[in-house]
Amino acid sequence: MATCIYCHRAKGKRSCPALTGLICSRCCGEHRLVRIACPADCVHLTAHETYQRGRSAPEFAAERAHLVQGLKDREAAVSLTALEAVIFRHFAARPTALDGEAIAVLESIRRRLSPLRLSEPTRSPLADAVWKDLEPFLKEVNRQAAAEAVEAYLVFARSFSGAGLQSRHYLTGLFGFLEQHDPDLVRELRTHDTPEAGRIISG
């Protein structure tokens, strides 16, 4: 009987491309992305991601509704929707990305929208790419409203992610929420480089 390549106790039932051997389902579930550097195309990682998105979507939708209710006007809500669309575009195809990466991008966007001159600790190519995609939407709304929305959304994202350094709770919830509540937008995001600004504004 082949034993698990990770714990060396249980029976190895799943092929693990990261460890190049058989792994038990428990070790696969507990250590994927945390202690095991899973490749993005691992079938077990993909199946897990799909399941977790569906499971997290209702919780994300409920907490997001409270966030939206606290926004001052429609332009702030539009800015939030555009922000989520761009985050989805850049992170949905990266099942190994962590919440910390998305939160760092959100922090960068907040600094760029601030009326104060806030220095950027380090220039991130990912943050630059997200900002480039977001700029067409920002031209359609009040910049102050957009800044307030990003500030509030950053607080929300940090809270939803939780305290774990390896968390994907925020990203998983966001992807599941968009897939369930706006499948047409998700389809457009997956088939085009960037959706037109009007598609978000009118959505």
Looking at the fold, whether 192 and 117 belong to one and the same domain comes out as yes
Is there a domain that residue 27 lies in? yes
Looking at the fold, whether 68 and 140 belong to one and the same domain comes out as yes
Is there a domain that residue 87 lies in? yes
Looking at the fold, whether 33 and 115 belong to one and the same domain comes out as no
Looking at the fold, whether 19 and 68 belong to one and the same domain comes out as no
Query: In which domain, by residue range, is 9 found?
Result: 1-38
Looking at the fold, whether 74 and 174 belong to one and the same domain comes out as yes
pLDDT confidence of residue 120 = 64
Is there a domain that residue 44 lies in? no
pLDDT confidence of residue 202 = 47
pLDDT classification of 74: cutoffs 50, 70, 90: confident
Q: To the nearest whole number, what is the mean pLDDT of the chain?
A: 88
pLDDT confidence of residue 196 = 56
Find the distance separating the first CA and the last CA of the chain, reported in whole Å.
55
Is there a domain that residue 46 lies in? no
Looking at the fold, whether 121 and 189 belong to one and the same domain comes out as yes
Looking at the fold, whether 27 and 120 belong to one and the same domain comes out as no
Is there a domain that residue 10 lies in? yes
Looking at the fold, whether 61 and 9 belong to one and the same domain comes out as no
pLDDT confidence of residue 117 = 67
Looking at the fold, whether 63 and 33 belong to one and the same domain comes out as no
Total number of domains in the chain: 2
Q: What is the mean pLDDT of residues 100-107?
A: 94
pLDDT tens for 191-200 read: 865 555 555 5
Q: Contact 173/160 with Cβ under 8 angstroms?
A: yes
pLDDT confidence of residue 203 = 45
Looking at the fold, whether 62 and 17 belong to one and the same domain comes out as no
Looking at the fold, whether 93 and 164 belong to one and the same domain comes out as yes
Is there a domain that residue 59 lies in? yes
Looking at the fold, whether 79 and 118 belong to one and the same domain comes out as yes
Q: Is the pLDDT assigned to residue 105 strictly greater than 90?
A: yes
> 0.75 exceeded by the pTM?
yes
Of the listed ranges 35-49, 85-99, 113-127, the one predicted with least confidence: 113-127
Is there a domain that residue 77 lies in? yes
Is there a domain that residue 45 lies in? no
